[in-house]
Amino acid sequence: MDALQLVKMVEDKSFTDLKKMQYKYSNESVAEMLEILARGAYGLSPLKDFKGREMIYLDNIARISSKCAKILLSNSDGTSVCSSGAAEDEIYYSLEIENIDTSRESVRRILAGYAPQDASEERIYGMKLGIQFISDYYNEINEENLYKLYRMSIGNYLEPENSLPDGSFYRNDSVYVIGGKKPHKGLESKLLPEYMRALMAFINTESDIDDLAKAAIIHFYIAYIHPYFDGNGRMARLVQLWYLVQRGYPSAMLVSFSALIMESRQLYYKAYSLIEQNAEISGIVDVTPFVLYFAQNVYNRLSQAMPSKYTMDEFANALLRGDVTEKEHALWDYAKNHYNGQWFSTKELEKYYGKAAYGTIRTFVQKFNSMGLMECRNYSNRPKYRIR
């Protein structure tokens, strides 16, 4: 294959869909392209597929902008405490991604410190404990802490048939994931201890892979091998955030990755199925489509999902000038913590804040919109606001 043909194929918008590429260029051309690319691909040892083969990742295809890392390093005082708004969104959307029935009212109740009233709120309470656990930098990622995280966030609230056997970190039987074009069978249970130890080594060993790409690969791998009977998706998302906290990205806890995933949920699931479809053609598990999904639909949208440093600085300046009243300061803090990057209406803010009259709230959002600290957009002729 000549260089021009290779470049054309690599730059094709369908590059990560090998089936489409075969239709466009022929089976032989795709096979030759894969052989050439494999020579320069990162091997992800010690991560293996179900047949014990080394998985690969093409970092030159799924590039993540350094701007994304800078965002996760900024907008924070250096701690990794999750804002109440980000925690609310992360819990609510992580459950919704899995089609688990819940409500924002219940999430807010539990985050406010109320005791769970039913099984749904017990699941929310577990997720709250999990987020608190991964936010603590001193909780290192190892098998014991992973088991602790699973039990506190998910495992303690499952039906008996989905619970882990006593004394076991992982499931002891087969599990199937239904929902894609074909069911995905998790890793053979007897191999789980070996593969999970390899994952822990991958997490805790320095590598040339970009931190944000590595976090997405960790996310994929947990869902791929499916170490639990239930809760694998929630655990994959929690561990991705946990890894970023451990790597020194405290602002990962100020934005909900699950909210961004929910907005592109079909593409999220498609990335999983695409990897398996490609593996049937190439014989190799290439995680590039999943990292590319995260680069395009999550990481590259972080700047829209959290207030900019400019906005925070402008608010601080307005505060110093005396342009912000005490009531407005309290409303700002509430909106920042509860609707971080999310749109809200004046009615919603009045209902959930509960400490100001509607007129006060309406004046507040209009004033802060005119100051450039908020933006306004009409939804069905009803204005909604969010912090810039």
> Alpha carbon of 9 to those of 1, 24, 175, 218: distances in Å?
11, 9, 37, 28
pLDDT given for residue 68 in this prediction:
86
Q: Which of 70-74, 176-180, 348-352 is predicted least confidently?
A: 176-180
Q: Last residue of some domain: 284, 305, 326?
A: 305
The overall average pLDDT reported for the chain is: 89
Quote the pLDDT of residue 363: 94
Residue with tokens 């890392």: 69
Q: How confident is the model at residue 340 (pLDDT cuts 50, 70, 90)?
A: low
Q: Say whether pLDDT at 57 is over 80.
A: yes
Cβ atoms of residues 27 and 285 within 8 Å? no
Residue with tokens 């490609």: 278
Residues 293 and 163 reside in one and the same domain: yes
The pLDDT score that the predictor gives to residue 104 is 87
Q: Cα(first)–Cα(last) distance of the chain, in Å?
A: 49
Report the pLDDT value the prediction gives residue 155, as an integer from 0 to 100.
Answer: 92
On the CB side of 225, how many CA atoms lie within 13 Å of its CA?
29
Same domain, 148 and 32: no
Is the predicted pLDDT of residue 310 greater than 90, yes or no?
no
Verify that 176 and 293 share a domain, yes or no: yes
> What number is the average pLDDT over the span 80-85?
65
Between CA 232 and CA 227 the distance in angstroms is 7
- Cβ neighbours of residue 325 under 8 Å, at least 6 residues apart? none
pLDDT in tens, 281-296: 999 999 999 999 999 9
Q: Are the CB atoms for 153 and 238 separated by under 8 Å?
A: yes
In this model, does residue 232 exceed pLDDT 90? Answer: yes
Residue ending a domain, choose from 261, 280, 305: 305
What's the confidence (pLDDT) of residue 196?
Answer: 97
Q: What are phi and psi of 187, to 5 degrees?
A: -60, 145
Residue 276 pLDDT more than 60?
yes
pLDDT over 60 at 80, yes or no = no
- On the question of pLDDT at 75 being above 70, the answer is no
Instruction: For residues 192 and 287, give the distance between their C-alpha atoms in angstroms, rounded to a whole number.
Output: 20
Q: Are residues 99 and 184 in the same domain?
A: yes
Q: What proportion of the chain, given as a percentage, has pLDDT over 70? A: 95
Residues 45 and 74 grouped into a single domain? no
DSSP E strands: which ranges in 5-132? 42-48, 54-57
Mean pLDDT of 50-70: 88
Number of domains in the chain: 3
Question: Which run of H or of E encompasses 377?
Answer: strand 374-379
Residues 248 and 376 in one domain: no
| Domain match, 83 and 30 both | no
Question: Residue 150 pLDDT more than 80?
Answer: yes
The confidence score (pLDDT) of residue 124 equals 97
Based on the fold, state whether residues 102 and 250 are members of the same structural domain. yes
79 — pLDDT class (breaks 50, 70, 90):
low
Residues 301 and 317 in one domain: no
- Per-residue pLDDT at 64 exceeds 70: yes
Lowest mean pLDDT of 112-121, 301-310, 358-367, name the range: 301-310
Mean predicted confidence (pLDDT) in 249-266: 90
Domain CATH for 353: 1.10.10.10
pLDDT digits (tens, 9 = 90+) for 374-388: 999 887 778 999 887
At 172 the pLDDT is 93
Residue 47, helix vs strand vs coil: strand
Residue 53's domain comprises: 3-57
The domain that holds 252 is classified in CATH as 1.10.3290.10
**Confidence (pLDDT) at 215:** 97
What confidence tens digit (pLDDT) does each residue in 157-212 have?
Answer: 999 989 998 889 999 999 988 766 677 889 999 999 999 999 999 999 998 899 99
Domain stops at, among 274, 305, 336: 305
Distance CA 250, CA 137 (A): 9
Same domain? 81 vs 126: yes
Same-domain status, 301 and 313: no
| pLDDT confidence of residue 40 | 75
Residue 109 or 235, more confident: 235
Give the burial class of 371: count Cβ atoms within 10 A of its Cβ; 0-12 exposed, 13-18 middle, 19 or more buried: middle
| Statement to judge: residues 373 and 285 lie in one domain | no
Distance CA 31, CA 68 (A): 34
Average of per-residue pLDDT across 207-226: 95
**Cα–Cα dist 11/152, whole Å:** 45
Nearest C-alpha neighbor of 232 from the set 315, 149, 291: 149
What contacts 232, CB < 8 A, 6 or more positions away?
177, 186, 222, 223, 226
